[in-house]
Amino acid sequence: MSLRSMPEGVRELRHAWSSQADRIPGLTWELEQDFRFGQRVTKTDTGYMMGGTLKGGSSSMWYPAVREHYHAYKRWRSQEGLQEGRDDEAYAGLQELCDRNRIQVATRRRGGSRRQLDDEEPYPGFGALYADMWQILRALPERHLMRPALGRIQLGGWGPDAAKASAYVDGGVHMYDFACRGARRTFQGLFLHELGHAHECDLSEAEKDAIYAGYKVLLDEGAFFGVEFLVDAETRKLYQRLVFNEFLAETYMIYAACGAALREAIAGLSPAAFAAWGQVYDVFRASFDGVEYE
């Protein structure tokens, strides 16, 4: 067995997302849910405002807030949020890795046309995102980066689809404004999920058939694995139940982020679910070139 490890923050996805409301002064459960779902509080000349993008940057809504909300948001963001700042080393590492594998990295031009991308000078304030993506991509089998199904990674902007946070479109992973300004945990989970859609495109029909045979049993057994980010774990299980392609993408994320926890959960299932998950896991392990995760 070839064992690898995802970054510490990614490995935290296997655990429930514990509330910070009892640790951060001024943070209520309601505010925490808003912040984790991409809402933020800003100080303006006329007072404090709370809001953010509603659909990946294509629309937004803001309403009056108070000073206490602003300071609670700042404290929360220092713990769980994506703070803007440079990380030139991470960007250089990410760019080198992506250039080697012919993956284009693009960011939305700040202050320019809403439909214009700046592919030559990526926004330096996305340093934390560059670091996360670099570490995640380095932990994957390089074959996953070399395939035509992954030709572009875009940070910022929005898309024409119903997705609010991220999407996989025409060989590109798109992390919308919504994902780039919320909780770091959400960005990491979504990034791996969208990479899972690229992986799905690369699976053979025989591999998909083998996974689907196990998936049908899991539907009957109700034996899905839920990971909490953006929405709660039960909602993420529901996505998998309703759409097979979402099960494929979510399982990719779970396989890489929750390795040991997934194996432990499988071991405790009913005989039918255990066998079905074993079949699914074996196909994924082979598609990862034998690489498994802590």
Task: Report, as an integer, the average pLDDT of 114-124.
Answer: 57
Give which of 160, 179, 225 is closest to 81, Cα–Cα. 179
Model confidence pLDDT, tens digit, residues 245-271: 999 999 999 999 999 999 999 999 999
Tell me the C-alpha distance between 51 and 129, whole Å. Answer: 22
Model confidence pLDDT, tens digit, residues 125-155: 899 999 999 999 999 999 999 999 999 999 9
Tell me the C-alpha distance between 144 and 96, whole Å. Answer: 16
Cα 61 versus chain centre, distance = 24
Mean pLDDT for the chain overall: 91
Tell me the C-alpha distance between 287 and 203, whole Å. Answer: 8
- DSSP letter at 228? -
DSSP per-residue string spanning 111-122: TS-TT-EESSS-
Q: How confident is the model at residue 59 (pLDDT cuts 50, 70, 90)?
A: low
Model confidence pLDDT, tens digit, residues 194-211: 999 999 999 999 999 999
Cβ count within 10 A of residue 205: 7
Q: Give the containing element (helix H, strand E) for 273.
A: helix 271-287
Q: How confident is the model at residue 124 (pLDDT cuts 50, 70, 90)?
A: confident
Model confidence pLDDT, tens digit, residues 234-251: 999 999 999 999 999 999
User: What residues contact residue 155 under an 8 Å CB cut-off, 6+ apart?
Assistant: 105, 106, 107, 108, 122, 123, 126, 129, 175, 180
State the pLDDT at residue 148.
94
Q: Per the structure block, which two tokens stand in for 248?
A: 């494929």
Cα 249 versus chain centre, distance = 11
Roughly what angle, to the nearest 10 degrees, separates helices 67-80 and 29-36?
Answer: 60
**Is the pLDDT reported for residue 160 higher than 80?**
no
The count of residues in the chain is 294
Pair 98, 119: CB distance under 8 Å: no
